[in-house]
Structure 1
Amino acid sequence: MSTVFLVSGASSGVGRALAQFLTRHGVSVIGLDRREPPDREIAHISCDLAEPGSIDAAVDRVDGQVDSLANVAGVPGTAPVEQVLAVNFLGMRHLTESLLGRIRRGGSVVNVSSSEGRHWVAHLAELRPLLATRTFGEGLRWCREQRPDRPVYDVSKEAVLAYTTASSTLTWSDGVRMNAVAPGTVRTPSLAEVERSTDPRRLARQRTAAGRDAEASEIASVVAFLMSNESRWVNGQTLAADGGVAAATTWAALQSR
């Protein structure tokens, strides 16, 4: 039986680097993306995470069971507010829950968030109503009615981590693990947009702590580990692939007390 991994956002950035990494290791990869990947070895199913109908159509085209799903696709904070929430969280959730019954026992779901989502516990009271929405449409209504007074990009990435933590307790009984990866800044085609939408002081602090931006391949290998059987006893965790930024920030905060 061949191993089949699904990767959203496989046409560029970390998603493409992940798909390339997996194919080099003999894994059959199906990329879910609006654009077809330039790599011929990566199969393609058209999927727009901002449109639930497109997600449903893509899921219908997936043949049989799969071994693992990596939710990598995302948009920067410069995109329209509702699109940011739709792609980064609502579409990811819709895709994941549409596929959970198709993931083999022993399989894995990995959700790529961001270092900007690491404060989700502190904002859980705000996030709970969003997490409690049951459909894509309900999630968008929450966004329209609540209009968070902080960057919706941060809200979307925090929601990913909160969702991962909560859902991992439910999927474990079915033999499916769910984990997350929280990268810092990464050299991808969208980096310029990320820089435009991020507080320059915060970005400077991150780059000072890490020393440089990550390469897409460095994040991809972490995601691949969590997708693989080598991480079979890891569940409900968020791995901060940020060059030590989270650790430096936490230590500085503790030192100031």
Structure 2
Amino acid sequence: MGTLAGKTALVTGASRGIGREVARRLAREGALVAIHYGGNEEAAKETVDLIERQGGRAFSLGAELGVPGDVETLYARFEAGLAGLGQGPEFDILVNNAAVSGSARISEVTPELFDRLFAINTRALFFLVQRGLKCLCDGGRVINISSAATRIAYPESIVYSMTKGALNTFTLALAKELGGRGITVNAVSPGFVETDMNASKRASPEAAAELAAWSVFGRLGQPADIADIVAFLASDASRWITGQCIDASGGSRF
């Protein structure tokens, strides 16, 4: 029996990268995991297959974020998936991982880029939580994936950094709002992690080495490094932790 046996989790953006590893980790602890994806259905199915081959339970659901009706579409498909397994709409863990990046300095930012990043990384996340609170069980968990770019100046992705700064503020306020229900709300802030999102930044061995040098450990983060922290925050062992933004950057730029 894992630490999350009998729990149900929804992980957004779980078809690849950090989201996929988080979903796999929660499933290994016994949770039924809903794998949300924005457009890559095949990758989401691969995540489900990986989980099931390890004896876990999962199902996938697609919903594009940052468009009209995104939240209701996502929850309608989430609840339909649960109903197909004979379960009600209640769930225990919400991991807000879905996000898009947009490398651009201030002189390069367009209104379209600005609006898209805030629509997906901030607005959609806010209303996903708002709607989810109707069915999130008392004593549940909200875990937001933020970024070390809120602590380390990174002008190369100024708008992305701003969206994650808003997420940290949201985390703090929501933790106080939901304390009476016993729901903890925390954020995890990775540094550079070896995922598809930043593949272009490590296109050469020299570029990869430069990114690795940010960490005191001299390596890039791995999705499992982040997933282990999320699994802890999802468990009862983290019950006395809320409103925190946990740095998960491997000591980057201390």
Bin the TM-score by the shorter chain: 0.7 to 0.9
3-state SS, counterpart of residue 44 of structure 1 = strand
2:70 is aligned with 1:54: yes
CA distance in 1, matches of 2:13, 2:187: 16
Match of 2:195 in 1: 188
TM-score (norm 1): 0.76
Tell me which moved more, 70-79 or 222-231: 70-79
**Residue 143 of structure 2 aligns to which amino acid in structure 1?**
V
Tell me which moved more, 47-56 or 223-232: 47-56
Match of 2:59 in 1: 43
CA distance in 2, matches of 1:193, 1:223: 26
3-state SS, counterpart of residue 116 of structure 1 = helix
Alpha-carbon offset, residue 3 of structure 1: 1.4
1:6-62 CA distances to partner (integer Å, 9 max, x unpaired)? 000110000000111112222100012113311333311112221241221111233
Unaligned runs of 5+ in 1: 121-149, 249-257
Alpha-carbon offset, residue 5 of structure 1: 0.5
3-state SS, counterpart of residue 190 of structure 2 = coil
Alpha-carbon offset, residue 211 of structure 1: 1.1
1:41-88 CA distances to partner (integer Å, 9 max, x unpaired)? 331111222124122111123331001100011111239332211111
Which of residues 111, 129, 138 is equivalent to 1:105?
A: 138
TM-score (norm 2): 0.77
CA distance in 2, matches of 1:101, 1:206: 44
CA distance in 2, matches of 1:193, 1:156: 21
CA distance in 2, matches of 1:119, 1:67: 32
3-state SS, counterpart of residue 32 of structure 1 = strand
Contact 1:119 1:158 in 2 (8 A): no
Contact 1:180 1:239 in 2 (8 A): yes
**Residue 245 of structure 2 aligns to which amino acid in structure 1?**
T
The structure, 1 or 2, with the larger RCO (C-alpha pairs under 8 Å, 6+ apart) is: 1
Which of residues 225, 233, 240 is equivalent to 1:226?
A: 233
Which of residues 241, 245, 250 is equivalent to 2:248?
A: 241
Match of 2:175 in 1: 168
CA distance in 1, matches of 2:226, 2:168: 17
Which of residues 76, 93, 113 is equivalent to 2:101?
A: 76
Alpha-carbon offset, residue 209 of structure 1: 3.6
**Residue 51 of structure 1 aligns to which amino acid in structure 2?**
V
- Report the CA distance shift for 1:78/1:228 in structure 2 as closer, same or farther (over 3 A): same
Contact 2:70 2:124 in 1 (8 A): no
* Identical positions, percent: 32
Contact 2:91 2:135 in 1 (8 A): yes
Instruction: Give 1:4-153 correspondences, 5 Å limit.
Output: 4-34=8-38, 35-36=40-41, 37=44, 38=46, 39-40=48-49, 41=52, 42-63=58-79, 64-78=89-103, 80-118=113-151, 151-153=158-160
CA distance in 2, matches of 1:91, 1:244: 30
CA distance in 2, matches of 1:171, 1:206: 39
Tell me which moved more, 6-15 or 94-103: 94-103
CA distance in 1, matches of 2:202, 2:162: 17
CA distance in 1, matches of 2:192, 2:95: 19
Unaligned runs of 5+ in 2: 53-57, 80-88, 105-112
Alpha-carbon offset, residue 224 of structure 1: 1.4
CA distance in 2, matches of 1:45, 1:154: 28
3-state SS, counterpart of residue 171 of structure 1 = helix
CA distance in 1, matches of 2:75, 2:22: 20
Contact 1:69 1:109 in 2 (8 A): yes
Contact 1:113 1:157 in 2 (8 A): yes
